[in-house]
Structure 1
């Protein structure tokens, strides 16, 4: 893979001597005003990069995949996720070539391991919708028919253990996860294990489901979605640095937005959940189902400002620059800017 120069798109975005989607032969505008490890493209330039790539999803697909508070539509998928799925397909192809060359060099039999994509971002920013749409898009390409999704919610410590450690109010913070189990899972996946199990999280009961797992069976692509998947490696008491979850990623995406917009989306989602998930029998949040609008808004803002915003500012936003791709939303959930790390 060739290095990029300032202002040039990565070599993996090229097809022959033309850039995908630039039928007139022009190049997307790139900000060259300062030195940066990222190529920056606005919404219009990004959307032009895959005009020749088919759009495999329908409006019905998008409605099924989007989150409750995410108004994503087919136009947004066409503008943002069609180019992204094309880019990811090229990265998958590039990694396969590197793997084959390395296997030849070592004199080993080439054994394909899953291409792992990490998707990070705040609560309520829409990263789950991003992950689901990407999975569905990539499944429709002939090169990557087997694509699976795992969320790191399943690797949260069970509520009983969080309570024992006094961490229920810090659920979603890095220390609330069974990091060792998550690293073991990813190690097995990237080692080519034929079957690897991941725990399942139930958002209704707000807890990990005992004795239930999802099995990952050597997919072409594995998408790992979670709040803190881009956290750097930690040092233990002896000062030895361990592995980071992101060490296992072949590509990573950060879904970004202004904090005040994310807070508004969080409150809107909370209000809608009163008549859906909160109202169901067995819901951990059943006590919120009968709140009036004013009380629900106050409760949602309190939870946001005590738990989610501190986690966002202290642990999530600082990892943004570690991503390969940063997608920035406006106040209407529309991607307006894309930053792509140069190779």
Structure 2
């Protein structure tokens, strides 16, 4: 899963070792408290003081440069066009496979960015809320492809992002329950003119087929100002997914309301076999066919090793 083949003469990314990237933190202050790490970390993800200092503080510093430059560009363009519209939020996409640690990365970025001076408003939305309800997926015969591009209500997601980018007030997003594994009826998350919006999901960098007539076909990433892809080898992803499944078997799956309650009584061997089958049938297929091909579209790639620690960072050249 190298970023480029050895024979390529031009690499669109500058690749940094962990040590080289950590040096770019400069004097960016640590604003997270030690007790926050557990709240921000998802199951089995690596998040400690060293990871934040070496990886996320330099990224926070870089994002502060990008956000400031984009805001100045927006202001200059509005002056040039002589328009007075609402503020334009900066949108960051976070992509990668199931079990790679997207949620942890998104929450850490939100916490760090929200503590910049003068305290910008930073919101976080996951694309899970834009999945079709299970009843629709069943009716269309694609329940086994939940998380694939076709399982999302793309027009709804595009309308949401368009409203956010245009500065609309009180934009609503559907709410997803990981307990019931479905959209929660008549519940909404409201996003109200944030300074920064983080959008996290497996397929947020997905493209569409180019039309032969040249008409515009919007995709989710059209609304991003910056994007992060979290990368790891398939063997590590498989191991992390199985480990997470076993942990959930002993916790969330024991809830009678859980969609996966039927797995709560499986033995270790049965649970491992079940998790492996789900990984190969759904998550691996989605990774190979849909998620991994979008990696070269990211602004920045965080490459993790087998221990969930980021080993290298690739930043797209301007």
1:151-190 paired onto structure 2 within 5 Å: 151-190=126-165
Map of 1:138 onto structure 2: 113
Q: How does 1:217-236 map to 2 (within 5 A)?
A: 217-235=192-210
Deviations 1:174-230 (A, max 9, x none): 000000000000000001101100001000000010110000000110000001000
How far the C-alpha of 1:233 sits from its partner, in A, is 2.6
Pairing of 1:239-258 with structure 2 (within 5 A): 240-258=215-233
Q: Does 1:271 align with 2:246?
A: yes
Select the structure with the greater relative contact order (CA < 8 A; seq sep ≥ 6): 2
In the alignment, which residue of structure 1 is the partner of 2:168? 193
Deviation at 1:34?
4.2
**Correspondence list, 1:1-343, <5 A:** 34-109=9-84, 111-235=86-210, 240-343=215-318
C-alpha deviations, 1:5-60, integer Å up to 9, x for none? xxxxxxxxxxxxxxxxxxxxxxxxxxxx9421111111000000013110101221
Instruction: Report how far residue 237 of structure 1 moved.
Output: 9.6
Residues of 2 paired with 1:109 and 1:175: CA distance? 38
Equivalent residue of 2:222, what SS?
helix
User: Does the Cα contact within 8 Å between 1:185 and 1:196 map onto a contact in 2?
Assistant: yes
Q: Secondary structure at the match of 1:264?
A: helix
Size of the alignment, in residue pairs? 311
CA distance in 2, matches of 1:45, 1:58: 25
1:73 Cα deviation from its structure 2 partner: 1.1
Helix, strand or coil for the counterpart of 2:93? strand
Contact kept in structure 1, 2:86 and 2:166, CA below 8 Å: no
Residue 117 of structure 1: how far off its partner (Å) = 0.2
**Deviates further, 146-155 or 53-62:** 53-62
Q: Which runs of 5+ in 1 are unaligned?
A: 1-32
Question: Are 1:234 and 1:244, in contact at CA under 8 Å, matched by a contact in 2?
Answer: no
- Measured after TM superposition, the shift of residue 236 of structure 1 is 6.5
Could you say if the C-alpha distance between residues 35 and 235 of structure 1 is closer, same or farther in structure 2, counting changes exceeding 3 Å? closer
Q: TM-score w.r.t. structure 1 length?
A: 0.88
CA RMSD of superposed structures (Å): 1.5
TM-score by length of 2: 0.95
- Once the two structures are superposed, residues 46-93 of structure 1 have per-residue CA deviations (whole angstroms, 9 ceiling, x without a partner) of 000013110101221111110012132121011100000111111110
